[in-house]
């Protein structure tokens, strides 16, 4: 089974690092034309260069803060001006935050919902006409946090749960127009995400990965490429009858705490 994205225009948000970067590099090898969005211009340009070397038939870099209306409008406008069409929209960019309701901070809540949810609604709204024209599809990158109930990231988890439902709602609305929409939800995945959120050192992050690997049934965290591969599969024609669904890529982490609790009660 081969993946072919030649002549397809794919917009990847958060392409300057982690999962977005890995997804862009995979799509480049499949000949996609790529619109790459992020805030860090240097990283974005470096990813675009590697995409070109790997086979991308064209790359466009857009430096934009998707947490602003201007950033979303610029992204949609530049992509359509440059390529004249859009086949796949990968809404991947997001930030994390540690928060508990007892220490609730409205600034954190607003920032999380703005960058992780409002921007997705806004960018999708702006690009839906182009996706209807191409009979394209949308992949929203969510998180196990949106499905699971876990402590310490209330705003982030709520925003991801809302994103999951957004996928279902637009899948229903846009299906009759030939547009698919799906969610890929990573579990613990090696990228800059965790350290950006916690401020932990490299050593502390390695320790976090070692500790969490013990509760992941498959015994290790995901790589950004593991997630990218699922994004590519869902976005490809091989998934032509898949819409409104949520695919967890988490090494089985979703079952770990429930499994532990049940085992304890059976003792």
Ligand X SMILES: NC(=O)c1ccc[n+]([C@@H]2O[C@H](COP(=O)([O-])OP(=O)(O)OC[C@H]3O[C@@H](n4cnc5c(N)ncnc54)[C@H](OP(=O)(O)O)[C@@H]3O)[C@@H](O)[C@H]2O)c1
Nearer to ligand X, 19 or 170 (CB): 19
What would the two tokens of residue 257 be? 């705490």
Q: Give the number of C-alpha atoms closer than 13 A to the C-alpha of residue 208, restricted to the C-beta side.
A: 15
What would the two tokens of residue 54 be? 């790997």
Strands 33-38 and 137-141, by their bridges, are unpaired
By residue count, the chain amounts to: 267
Radius of gyration, alpha carbons of the chain: 18
Sites for ligand X among residues 201-230 (CB under 6 A): 224
Q: Per-residue contact track with ligand X, 85 to 124, x per CB under 6 A?
A: -------xxxx-------------------x---------
Calculate ∠ Cα 159-144-12, nearest 5°: 70
Residue 191 binds ligand X, judged by CB under 6 A: yes
156 is catalytic: yes
Q: Are 43 and 20 in contact (CB under 8 A)?
A: no
Residue 32 binds ligand X, judged by CB under 6 A: no
Nearer to ligand X, 67 or 136 (CB): 67
Sites for ligand X among residues 37-56 (CB under 6 A): 38-40, 43
Nearer to ligand X, 92 or 239 (CB): 92
Sign (positive/negative) of CA torsion 259, 260, 262, 267?
positive
Min. distance of Cβ 73 from ligand X in angstroms? Answer: 13
Active site (catalytic) residues? 156
Give the binding site for ligand X (CB under 6 A).
Answer: 13-14, 16-20, 38-40, 43, 65-67, 92-95, 115, 141, 143, 186, 188-189, 191-194, 196, 224
């Amino acid at each position: 089974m081969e993946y072919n994205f030649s002549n397809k225009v794919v917009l990847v948000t958060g392409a300057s690092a982690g999962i977005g970067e890995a997804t862009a590099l995979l799509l480049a090898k499949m000949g996609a034309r790529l619109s790459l969005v992020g805030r860090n211009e240097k990283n974005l340009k470096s990813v675009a260069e590697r995409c070109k070397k790997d086979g991308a038939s064209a790359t466009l870099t857009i430096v934009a803060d998707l947490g602003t209306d201007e950033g979303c409008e610029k992204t949609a406008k530049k992509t359509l001006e440059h390529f004249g069409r859009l086949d796949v929209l990968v809404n991947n960019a997001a930030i994390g935050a540690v928060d508990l309701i007892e220490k609730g901070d409205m600034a954190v809540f607003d920032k999380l919902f703005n960058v992780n949810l409002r921007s997705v609604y806004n960018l999708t709204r702006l690009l839906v006409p182009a996706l209807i024209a191409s009979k394209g599809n949308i992949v929203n990158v969510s998180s196990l946090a949106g499905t699971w109930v876990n402590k310490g990231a209330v705003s982030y988890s709520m925003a991801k749960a809302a994103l999951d439902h957004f996928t279902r709602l637009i899948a229903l609305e846009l299906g009759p127009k030939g547009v698919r929409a799906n969610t890929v939800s990573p579990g613990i995945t090696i990228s800059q995400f965790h350290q950006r959120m916690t401020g932990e050192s490299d050593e502390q992050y390695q320790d976090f990965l070692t500790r969490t690997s013990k509760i992941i049934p498959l015994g290790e965290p995901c790589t950004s490429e593991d997630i990218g591969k699922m994004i590519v599969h869902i976005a490809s024609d091989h998934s032509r009858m898949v819409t409104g669904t949520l695919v967890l890529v988490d090494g089985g982490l979703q079952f770990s705490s429930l499994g532990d609790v049940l085992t304890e009660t059976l003792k």
